[in-house]
Chains A and B, each alone.
Chain A
């Protein structure tokens, strides 16, 4: 069984090596999708078998890898979101591009390693590796703007993550003085009550701030809109849809250690500040945004802020809601970046003002855009509606009513800003053009399928969340949260 854990790591790595060596071969192009599907299937398999075994975690490679229900759930999410983004990329004909495929596969392998690792240090190395693999993907188009975005991304990302490493080092020093030097999650959770509180507080704060940079939380978010708007669409989808959540996963794990060592107040205060600040940044900048790819990037900051608030509240209801939100947001956001890439290709501009009357001219582009926006804004029956309500209710029950009112007000502002921009693009009559738009080729059904499937899955996720409660409950218990 433990050999099984190597599959989601080694298959993408092998695909990356194959694509890098055979850069012109046609058969290398689907390798990204193959890796994504392998991760999805192993994630589902592991989640099923761990839940069936009553939440017993699996180990491999000594104690370096450990998969509990939470890790398996995230593995499945990475696979599902990557499948949407890369399937959509494949459904458009293009020349094979070995380096692109190789970097995407290596990126998937790095995220898998981050989730599989039982060791804070290995997790850190994996998250830094995601920066390294995505650096050239962000700067892929080699224009001035994408190079600028890549430079900011690498400098801010590496420095932020370096701060996280300083925090990890400090935590390691704390465990060493408690007589048992370790970076393993399991051991850290066991040792937590004996750790020196002053040193642990320093370590946890630094590590959380560092990983929060990578999760795109304000005030360390400034790289995100640049990187996510300049990267090619499938890469933006992957970065917004899962990379941010993988960084949040590190914060979720840190919260368990912090709660045991310092009590629940410390991490709650820190994350509430980061979360509400992110919601504030997103609300103000979506209101004035003029570029629709950046609009989606700010929507990611909004959702990460809300998830940070959910993690801050803690407890079974809020944590479960955050986990479901990660999946729902990942699916919808990757579909939306795919869709925005298609609009960009059809219209030739990423400015909101340059796209007019889309639903009259190109209903095939406007339909998914409107549906996806509704999903992101939290309309039922999409799953994000249920998770947002659950987070607010949990916060209210935890005695955070004033904060929840602020959160609701900021969500409403983002709602207004985002719906205004998207409606401006889609509604209204088609502009008078000499070219007859009815001759423009519509997207074939094959190319529409990935987006449709992702939006459908975002509805289904809300419906299957109750039957899957056992698996989710096991994932939450994996965090050491007591109901």
Chain B
């Protein structure tokens, strides 16, 4: 892979990651959120594949395939099934409206650029310059997690945070060692499956689930 093609691929992939994160804040439909998550997973896989080809690591290309299978296909499919079963197609319990959500996302992106200055300074390559995109994903994921109260939205927020961390990992260091990488992917899949089972059981106990209703335990 030539230097300029690599730079362009990295730019496209991180652009897609940022765009899907911002749209995630804007859209209220849980179906659309799930599709955005699938696009985000595919963009992450593209990024990993590009870094793998550029640095000549066959290992990373294999990781890219796994990332695509899990984050681009499997997890969005699990979420889509959950939505279809629970019949909740709209996040109608968000604490912020779309406009203030977008403003907050812009603020968080600025914060991400400020915080990641020492990380960007470590390395002059095109990859390091995209690190703030990863941190933006982490912060936007937090925003989604904190402001939305449907169970499925919280899972989406968690996955956006995770995508952001994976982006930082691949951009700054070409990924952590393989055994750790695979362990992390497995953990994420298991957490999502557990949350799916718990939310199904909670719905059985509570009816249609708004996490605002989880107020029995407090001091």
Contacts and interface: CB of A to CB of B under 8 A. Distances in A.
A128 B176 contact: no
Contact of B219 (A64, A128, A168, A289): A289
A64 B122 CA distance: 27
Interface string A141-170: 011110111111011001100100110111
B194 A135 contact: yes
Contact of A176 (B115, B138, B162, B173): B173
A199 to B, nearest CB: 5
Contacts of A225: 217, 219
A124 B177 CA distance: 13
B81 interface: no
B205 interface: yes
Contact of B168 (A124, A128, A166, A230): A166
A145 B121 CA distance: 48
Contacts of A131: 191
Interface in B75-133: 115, 118-119, 121-123
Kindly state the interface size class of chain A when it binds its partner. Answer: 35 or more
Nearest to B128: A173
A289 B217 CA distance: 12
A181 B178 CA distance: 13
Interface string A116-149: 0001011011001101100110010011110111
A361 B161 CA distance: 53
A123 to B, nearest CB: 10
A329 interface: no
A142 B187 CA distance: 23
A143 B205 contact: yes
Interface in B157-214: 158, 161-162, 165, 168-169, 172-174, 176-177, 179-180, 183-184, 186-187, 190-191, 194-195, 198-199, 201-202, 205-206, 211, 214
A121 to B, nearest CB: 3
Contacts of B37: none
Given A143-B205, A199-B119, A124 B217 contact: no
Contact of B201 (A128, A139, A165, A294): A139
B165 A132 contact: no
A89 interface: no
Contact of A121 (B151, B162, B179): B179
A119 B177 CA distance: 10
B219 A155 contact: no
Interface in A190-208: 196, 198-199, 202
B180 A166 contact: no
A158 B191 contact: yes
B30 interface: no
A4 B123 CA distance: 42
B30 to A, nearest CB: 17
Contacts of A172: 169, 172-173, 176
A322 interface: no
Contacts of B154: 155
A165 B173 CA distance: 13
B43 interface: no
A187 B190 CA distance: 31
A144 B216 contact: yes
A162 B165 contact: yes
Given A199-B119, A285-B219, A144 B205 contact: yes
B152 interface: no
Given A135-B198, A143-B205, A169 B165 contact: yes
B70 interface: no
A169 B198 contact: no
A352 B45 CA distance: 54
A177 interface: yes
Contacts of B13: none
A198 B184 CA distance: 26
A174 B131 CA distance: 14
A165 B202 CA distance: 29
Given A122-B179, A177-B123, A196-B122, A148 B217 contact: yes
B122 A177 contact: yes
Nearest to A229: B217
Contacts of B180: 119, 121-122, 124-125, 183
B145 interface: yes
A183 B187 contact: no
B217 A169 contact: no
Contacts of B184: 121, 124-125, 128, 165
A68 interface: no
Contacts of A142: 201, 205
A196 B191 contact: no
Contacts of A124: 180, 183-184
A148 B212 CA distance: 11
A160 to B, nearest CB: 11
A349 interface: no
Nearest to A142: B201
Interface in A277-314: 285, 288-289, 294
A226 interface: yes
Interface string A41-70: 000000000000000000000001000000
Nearest to A199: B118
A159 B118 contact: no
Contacts of A121: 176-177, 179-180, 183-184
17 contacts: A124-B180, A124-B184, A128-B184, A135-B194, A142-B205, A144-B216, A147-B198, A147-B202, A151-B199, A155-B154, A169-B172, A170-B168, A176-B172, A177-B122, A181-B173, A198-B121, A199-B119
Given A177-B122, A196-B122, 12 more contacts: A119-B177, A124-B184, A125-B186, A129-B187, A139-B198, A147-B201, A154-B198, A172-B173, A173-B173, A198-B121, A225-B217, A226-B217
